[in-house]
Structure 1
């Protein structure tokens, strides 16, 4: 029989279950990894009306929608959908040269009950398929053709795993794209660059990619992509003082979750938009996100500036004069003058926009600094120069009214349903809403960590990784919730009990450490939904 370029993997099947993820997401549960890939490919070829992102994971596919109405329509259509056979049509194949000299190679052999040589033979002797991505950009969770190398993760994760480390974790293998913490068993190293934002396709592998590992004896060194040098002169602002978390942000890079890249962007998007409108920029122009004030910049050339968000004190100084400036009002910063911001009287994050917007290297269409993945500009340091682009055609805006910011009061956040409420007791669901939670000091752009009476689980097994969105509330075994914010990982392995509504994410971003939070049901959600 003549062969064809198509390989039938599985006959058509149905979605096992559909679960709501807040107001704008839905989680489709599938029976097999092949079904996950088949549904992912189907939704890429023929997307639903109003569909935004498709995020495959271990046993699920997360679909996000542009509106609650679109989500309800997609949910209804998913329930009737028959998944066609998954066909590999000219799929991408990648060969990864690997030196099998990993720190955990002998431990893996012992765990698998085979020799070191047999581990290498098993790893190189089968075709691996990328099931999904996550953790950091370019990291693919690869499934093999057998379970010979299914081994547990390390009991204690390493704080530093080198770029190019080839590792095993559970039934998956993968390559660490950059230096990061990690708990997988390291069996070797490769010089392959798994992520390069300068390539047309930054990720070397993506869901559905076939991977073969090839044993080599040469020492390998990962040649990481060159970092573009920052502009050091011209028209802009010079940093004279900065706290560690002053970052360049815009509206983020949505649409890349399938390759392991979160949206990122300003945590309080309403305030970033407001600051840009005030100076006449497009609302998504790159601006500065400033945590707790503490910033001093000096104008190089005349600038028109505005600050929105947390109401910090603003003072403009020169060698001979000093004057205050007002939040949410545009003002002029003359050549050589310095602008100093004090800590805000309420809220956490302020946004500084300059007419023309800051010039920074784009990664996947955005200049945002992603603190989890390392994409985008580094945090500001003393001496940095921030170049400014040409002035826009739009006129400078009028002063705007700002919303109220948390100042010691309990912040109320509305919640929609989470996909894994059935992992929790009825008392835990009630406790989520009945108590006041405290924001802990280890909160950051990745997540807002809360402390209170722990939420009791009724299921205690390990949940396979699932897609996440901004606002999901994951509950680790400690029972203390974590609200995912802009730099969250695109997949996670803790159950999601509920989701903060999109309109309240700006309020969450402005709640300081030590602040108090109370949850309530979104008006469109009845208590019986939880």
Structure 2
């Protein structure tokens, strides 16, 4: 085993092959280590996230290094058959690469039983191992911008099924009408780690399409607009009517933990401290759902009497009464709104995202245990639309309005460079010495293509790799600096994918993640490595 640093609360265990990875995963699941929060297995690695207050990287390395990985992981008794129309646009090309006929590709693909090795990339996406050994083909040199839901593909030695329409670089050989992901199921992901899978050629089997669930996506849309209509409110229930949404306003809480087995990352507020403060100001639990809005433009009209608080970015706040009077409101303070009052959030002077909490909390349904909206995975409530009626729950009689620190000196601005501390690893050694030095010495600008998935950065010179080979997909941490072939890094934020196939040169330290979530487009960054890259030794 190799042990590689990821962050101050995560490490990566690298093993020789998939069989060893699954054996170690089974061992860690049978006898969990204290302090471990989540395990994200991949082709040859396991990402281990832990609570630093409960354990340390050194202790975990010592414990994991002593695990027996000689035993093969037990296979599940669950077998899932996936019917496929083998008419994919890459079928002929795959056959040509392998030097066989398309019919032989189909015969080999249906002639073996697969195992769900791990999940990632998207909710419900499973990496299937154990197929015919000859079915080993490279990803497409140029990924497609859109692959349809239900597409069956090959990449390396893995097979997989796209649960929803998305970009991708796998070689597509067919499509299935079976739903890989369905939020109406108790277990939304059809394929779970360890499950056995067999593909069936619909053309040669007596399977009627009517016998198969008719949707390939299975993805129910985020919270229906009908849930935000006046008719959905209880009699005399207070609400906030959305008069304007700004660039993007979504519900967020502290995220959905423990869903890696479904291929779902945590999501949650980009600035978690600001979310907690907003809730504390109105007397809510710190993890209650609030509104996260980027830039200016959000307008909310109170229907009935409500108490709100706005935290996060330094943005001007205005109140307009029903009869047209207008005045400014304080940030980081509870504000009582009368019936008809409209709260408006202006363009931030510093920072990027504001958080709006309401006393009693928003009447919004949780999805997979959280009200967070994951914009990449399309899990959680839909973004706000003009006209939405956001119901407000009654406040607890024991709720106590809190106070908040008004300091905003560290909010990022366009005028000053933002400095983020970085932990080097896990793939720092995939880059040249010049590139490693350049990460810290060169400044990077946040481009307009940035969003909740990540900040796309542009520097004068790219980060050159010392190792040019393809990296098998592996778990990625919040704050990871992943470097695609362009050499221009992407800083992964709240809605980042669970796994990724490009090397990560370092990761923003956890205590600077809230700051990273407040960086506006156009700002300049510098990275400050807090220690040099070094493998973690079991002897430490």
TM-score range, shorter chain: over 0.9
> Which of 294, 297, 321 is equivalent to 1:294?
297
* Distance in 1, Cα, partners of 2:278 & 2:309: 6
Deviation at 1:85, TM superposition (A): 0.8
TM-aligned CA deviation for residue 403 of structure 1? 3.3
Q: How many residue pairs are counted as aligned between the two chains?
A: 513
Match of 1:102 in 2: 88
1:222 to 215, 222, 234: 215
Which residue of 240, 260, 265 corresponds with 2:263?
A: 260
Query: Cα distance, 1:190 vs. partner?
Result: 1.4
| Contact kept? 2:481, 2:507, Cα under 8 Å | yes
CA distance in 1, matches of 2:141, 2:201: 27
Give the corresponding residue for 2:361. Answer: 357
Partner of 1:406: 412
- Report the Cα distance in structure 2 between the residues aligned to 1:171 and 1:89, rounded to whole angstroms: 19
1:226 CA displacement: 4.4
Aligned to 2:504: 496
CA distance in 2, matches of 1:299, 1:125: 62
1:106: how far off?
A: 2.2
CA contact (8 A) 1:190 1:222 kept: no
1:368 aligns with 2:372: yes
Measured in 2, the distance between the counterparts of 1:503 and 1:294 equals 29
Q: Aligned pair 1:437/2:470, yes or no?
A: no
Of residues 305, 311, 317 in structure 2, which corresponds to 1:314? 317
State the Cα deviation string for residues 216-267 of structure 1 (Å, max 9, x = none): 1455742625455324123211111112321111110122223311110000
**Does the aligned pair in 1 maintain the 2:309–2:335 contact within 8 Å?**
yes
In the other structure, the counterpart of 2:383 is 379
- CA shift in 2, pair 1:55/1:245, >3 Å: same
Match of 1:24 in 2: 9
What SS does the corresponding residue of 2:368 show, helix, strand or coil?
coil
Q: Which residue of 1 aligns with 2:37?
A: 52
Shift of 1:130: 1.5
Give the secondary-structure state (helix, strand or coil) at the position aligned to 1:445.
coil
Separation in 2, partners of 1:110, 1:477: 26
Deviation at 1:208, TM superposition (A): 1.7
Alignment partner of 1:160 is 2:157:
no
CA distance in 1, matches of 2:72, 2:107: 28
Matches for 1:473-512 after TM superposition, within 5 Å = 473-512=481-520
Instruction: Map 1:47-446 to 2 at 5 A.
Output: 47-67=32-52, 69-88=55-74, 90-217=76-203, 218-219=208-209, 221-222=214-215, 224=218, 226-227=220-221, 229=224, 230-233=227-230, 234=233, 235-320=238-323, 321-392=325-396, 393-404=398-409, 405-407=411-413, 408-446=415-453
Which whole-Å CA distance do the structure 2 matches of 1:206 and 1:403 have between them? 44
Coordinate RMSD, CA, aligned: 1.9
Q: Aligned equivalents of 1:38 and 1:258: distance in 2?
A: 16
Deviation at 1:76, TM superposition (A): 2.1
* Distance change in 2, residues 1:489/1:190 (3 Å): same
Alignment deviations for residues 96-119 of structure 1 (CA, whole Å, 9 cap, x no partner): 112222222222222222222211
Pairing 1:450–2:443 present: no
Farther-moved stretch of structure 1 (465-474 vs 315-324)? 315-324
Q: Give the distance between the partners of 2:69 and 2:367, measured in 1 at CA.
A: 34
Q: Conserved in 1, the CA contact under 8 Å of 2:75 and 2:194?
A: no
Cα–Cα, structure 1 residues 208 and 454, in superposed 2: closer, same or farther, change >3 Å? Answer: same
In 2, Cα distance between the equivalents of 1:411 and 1:179?
36
Superposed counterparts of 1:31-42, under 5 Å: 31-42=16-27
Q: Tell me if structure 1 keeps the 8 A contact 2:131–2:158.
A: no
Are the structure 2 counterparts of residues 528 and 168 from structure 1 closer, same or farther at C-alpha, using a change threshold of 3 Å? closer
Residue 158 of structure 1: how far off its partner (Å): 2.2
Provide the C-alpha distance between the structure 2 equivalents of 1:177 and 1:481, rounded to a whole number of angstroms.
27
- Whether contact under 8 Å (2:247, 2:296) holds in the other structure is no
Following superposition, the deviation at residue 184 of structure 1 comes to 1.7
TM-score, with length taken from structure 1: 0.93
Mapped contact 2:35–2:51 kept (Cα < 8 A): yes
Greater CA deviation, 224-233 or 165-174?
224-233
Give me the whole-angstrom Cα distance separating, in 2, the residues matched to 1:21 and 1:226: 34
Any stretches of 5+ residues in structure 1 without a counterpart?
A: 1-15
Q: Matched residues in 2 for 1:50 and 1:399: separation?
A: 30
Please give the per-residue CA displacement for 1:155-192, whole angstroms capped at 9, x wherever unaligned: 33222222111122222111111111222222222122
Q: Distance in 2 between matches of 1:43 and 1:158?
A: 37
For the structure 1 residues 80 and 88, does the alpha-carbon distance in structure 2 shift closer, same or farther, using more than 3 Å as the test? closer
Report deviation, 1:88: 1.9
CA contact (8 A) 1:159 1:180 kept: yes
The DSSP-based 3-state class of the residue aligned with 1:76 is helix
In structure 2, do the counterparts of structure 1 residues 225 and 431 end up closer, same or farther at CA, with 3 Å as the change threshold? closer
SS at match of 2:346: strand
Give the deviation of 1:89 after TM superposition.
Answer: 5.3
Query: Is the CA contact 2:247–2:293 (under 8 Å) kept in the aligned structure 1?
Result: no
> Within 2, Cα distance between the matches of 1:155 and 1:87?
34
Unaligned runs of 5+ in 2: none
